[in-house]
Amino acid sequence: MKIAQVTPLYEAVPPRLYGGTERVVAHLTDALVDLGHEVTLFASADARTRARLVSVRDQAIRLDPAPLKSDLAAHLSQLAEVLSRADQFDVIHFHTDMIHFPFFEGWADKTVTTLHGRLDLKDLAPVYERWSEFGLVSISDDQRRPLPHVNWRATVHHGMPGDLYRFSPRSQGYLAFLGRISPEKRPDRAIEIAARLNKPLKIAAKVDAADRVYWETVIEPLVRDNPLVEFVGEIGDADKSAFLGGAEALLFPIDWPEPFGLVMIEAMACGTPVVAFACGSTPEIIEDGVTGFLVSTMDEAVAATAKAFELNRENIRSRFDLRFSATAMARRYLDVYGGILARRPFAAPMRVLEEAKTFAALA
């Protein structure tokens, strides 16, 4: 198949530091290439990919040092590039929320749109109902709850290459928090869990400008006053194997409807169990008592963290390989692409339809 992948432009593909959506697009794109498909990635020029790259900006937006930038203008230019080449592709896969809908109404039957964020925002429902011809993919079943009646085509959980992170057969005895410093991620809970267990905690996290006050008034004092807590700062893929693999457990103490939570499967790839609050997607990702523990209260979280070392790290890695590899993700998307082609048989070459059936069978 000839497939276009259209990524947000906020981070490089894959991101150099923190970033979820662009990281998933990178893994999916490379996995589709490895499976023999002709893939074109529309991204910033700093992307690293095995696909054909169409550069639509000189660099990703967030780390661009220019003081004045327009993310809307950047994405409109990107969509214009995709639209000018739309007839070259069998499938156009968008990861850019809904911004492309007005421009691609004439091409909706060859598109799929993966929604990567939370969907309980006031203004979303009218948009997805207005442009109902666009097929949507959720990244967890729970993500759909605010919009149950829109045009869902599938749920596809995220995946990563199996060789990206190293398996660690044993921990170094500390707890880990990896992600973003924000109220909904609840790093304060992670600090309390570590304090109650008298265990060291390492926090590797990004501090967005929007969360700077929360960091300075709530979290930084907790870090500064607690010798058990080490703030590592923002890290990239090269540092995650050591950081996650050395942890006795990853703490995922969220307080919001997390659509997926990529860090959970990153930890699993290292063999590290995850202690997660049962919120959003976590019950779909964590197998309670196998790859980690699902909890509802702080007392439960403390008790679960205390026994996380008992879980078999090899089993955790095996469950990652089975459920969350990049190849598994790509094959699930091939099922979605095949469904798109099957709904427009007169627009797609018979060769493409046969390939779609073949790859759907392999999945």
Residue 162 has a pLDDT of 86
| Contact in structure between 14 and 26 (CB atoms under 8 Å) | yes
Q: How far apart are CA 316 and CA 338, in angstroms?
A: 32
pLDDT interval class at 355 (50, 70, 90): low
Q: Which long-range contacts (CB under 8 A, 24 or more apart) does 299-305 make?
A: 301/189, 301/193, 301/251, 301/253, 301/275, 301/277, 302/193, 302/196, 302/197, 304/275, 305/175, 305/193, 305/197, 305/199, 305/249, 305/251, 305/275
pLDDT interval class at 345 (50, 70, 90): low
Q: How far apart are CA 244 and CA 168, in angstroms?
A: 9
Span 174-210, pLDDT tens digits = 999 999 999 999 999 999 999 999 999 999 998 988 8
Residue 18 predicted with pLDDT over 80: no
Span 65-103, pLDDT tens digits = 999 999 999 999 999 999 999 999 999 999 999 999 999
Span 298-328, pLDDT tens digits = 999 999 999 999 999 999 999 999 999 999 9
- From residue 144, alpha-carbon distances to 59, 125, 330 in Å are 32, 11, 21
